Amino acid sequence: MILRRMPVARTLSSVSVLAVALLTLSVRAVGQAPTPPPPKKPVPATPTTPAKPATTTTPAKPAGSTSTSGTPTKTGATTTTTTATHPGTTTTTTTHPGTTTTTGTHTTTTTTAGTHTTTPAAGTAHATPGGGAGGLHGATSGATPGHPAPATHGVAGVNHGNLAHAGPKGSIDRVGPHGEAVRMRANGRPSDVHRAGMDIHHNLAGGRRVEMERADHSRLYYERGRPGYIAHPYSFHGHDYYRRSYYYNGRAYDRFYNHYGYRGIYLDVYAPARFYGIGFYGWAYNPWVTPVPYAWGFAAAPWYGYYGAYFTPYPVYASPSLWLTDYLISASLQTAYDAHLAAQEQAEMAGTAPPAPLTPETKQYIADEVRRQVALENAEAQANGRGADNDAASSSIARILTDGQPHVFVAGKEVDVVDAAGQECAVTDGDVLQLKVPPGPAATTANLVVLSSKGGVECPRMDVVSVGFEDLQDMQNHMRETIDQGLQELQAKQGQGGLPAAPASASAPPVTAMVAQGAPPPDPAGAQDLAAQAQQSEKAEQDALAATAGGPSDSPGAPAAPAGPPATISLGQSTDDVKGSLGQPTKIINLGAKTIYVYPDMKVTFNNGKVSDVE
Please state whether 553 falls in left (phi above 0), alpha (psi between -120 and 50) or beta. alpha
DSSP collapsed to 3 states, 391-428: CHHHHCHHHHCCCCCCEEEECCCCEEEEECCCCEEEEC
Q: Count of CB atoms within 10 A of residue 35's CB? A: 16
Contacts of 408 (CB under 8 A, 6+ apart): 362, 365, 366, 369, 432, 433, 434, 435, 451
**Distance from C-alpha of 500 to C-alpha of 136, rounded to nearest angstrom:** 47
**Residue 41, burial from CB neighbour count under 10 angstroms (0-12, 13-18, 19+):** exposed
The answer to whether the beta carbons of residues 172 and 514 sit under 8 Å apart is no
Biggest CA pair distance of the chain = 91
Position 35 scores a pLDDT of 60
**Is the model's pLDDT at 1 over the cut of 90?**
no
**Residue 127, burial from CB neighbour count under 10 angstroms (0-12, 13-18, 19+):** middle
Phi then psi for 329, rounded to 5 degrees?
A: -70, -45
Angle at 174 between CA 171 and CA 179, to 5 degrees: 140
Angle at 91 between CA 89 and CA 97, to 5 degrees: 160
Position 34 scores a pLDDT of 54
Q: Which of 232, 266, 258, 282 is nearest to 8 (CA)?
A: 258
**Distance from C-alpha of 5 to C-alpha of 33, rounded to nearest angstrom:** 28
Position 591 scores a pLDDT of 66
Complete edge-to-edge strand list for the sheet that includes strand 424-427: 407-410, 432-435, 445-452, 464-468, 415-419, 424-427
**Mode of pairing for the β-strands spanning 228-236 and 610-614:** unpaired
- How confident is the prediction for the chain on average, in pLDDT? 77
What is the per-residue pLDDT across 324-356, written as a single tens digit (0 to 9) for each?
A: 999 999 999 999 999 988 876 555 555 678 899
Position 114 scores a pLDDT of 32
Q: Which range, of 231-235, 270-274, 505-509, 578-582, averages the lowest pLDDT?
A: 578-582
Position 119 scores a pLDDT of 31
**Distance from C-alpha of 168 to C-alpha of 187, rounded to nearest angstrom:** 12
Q: Which of 177, 272, 292 is nearest to 543 (CA)?
A: 177
**Is the model's pLDDT at 118 over the cut of 90?**
no
DSSP collapsed to 3 states, 234-293: EEECCEEEEEEEEEECCEEEEEEEEEEEECCEEEEEEECCEECCHHHHHHHHCCCCCCEC
pLDDT band of 283, cuts 50, 70, 90: very high
Angle at 118 between CA 117 and CA 121, to 5 degrees: 140
**Is the model's pLDDT at 411 over the cut of 70?**
yes
Position 454 scores a pLDDT of 95
Q: Which range, of 29-33, 304-308, 315-319, averages the lowest pLDDT?
A: 29-33
Q: Can you state the angle between helices 469-493 and 320-343, rounded to 10 degrees?
A: 120
Position 276 scores a pLDDT of 97
**Is the model's pLDDT at 134 over the cut of 70?**
no
Query: What Cα–Cα distance (Å) separates residue 153 from each residue in 24, 113, 544?
Result: 50, 29, 21
Position 158 scores a pLDDT of 77
Q: Which range, of 83-87, 175-179, 447-451, averages the lowest pLDDT?
A: 83-87
**Is the model's pLDDT at 423 over the cut of 60?**
yes
**Is the model's pLDDT at 604 over the cut of 90?**
no
Q: Which helix (H) or strand (E) holds 230?
A: strand 228-236
pLDDT band of 577, cuts 50, 70, 90: confident
Q: Which range, of 225-229, 310-314, 601-605, averages the lowest pLDDT?
A: 601-605
What is the per-residue pLDDT across 22-49, written as a single tens digit (0 to 9) for each?
A: 343 333 333 445 566 665 544 444 334 4
Position 312 scores a pLDDT of 96
Contacts of 429 (CB under 8 A, 6+ apart): 5, 332, 333, 335, 336, 339, 411, 412, 413, 414
What sign does the CA torsion over 66, 138, 369, 309 have? positive
**Is the model's pLDDT at 365 over the cut of 90?**
yes
pLDDT band of 85, cuts 50, 70, 90: very low
**Is the model's pLDDT at 539 over the cut of 80?**
yes
User: Is the whole-model pTM more than 0.85?
Assistant: no
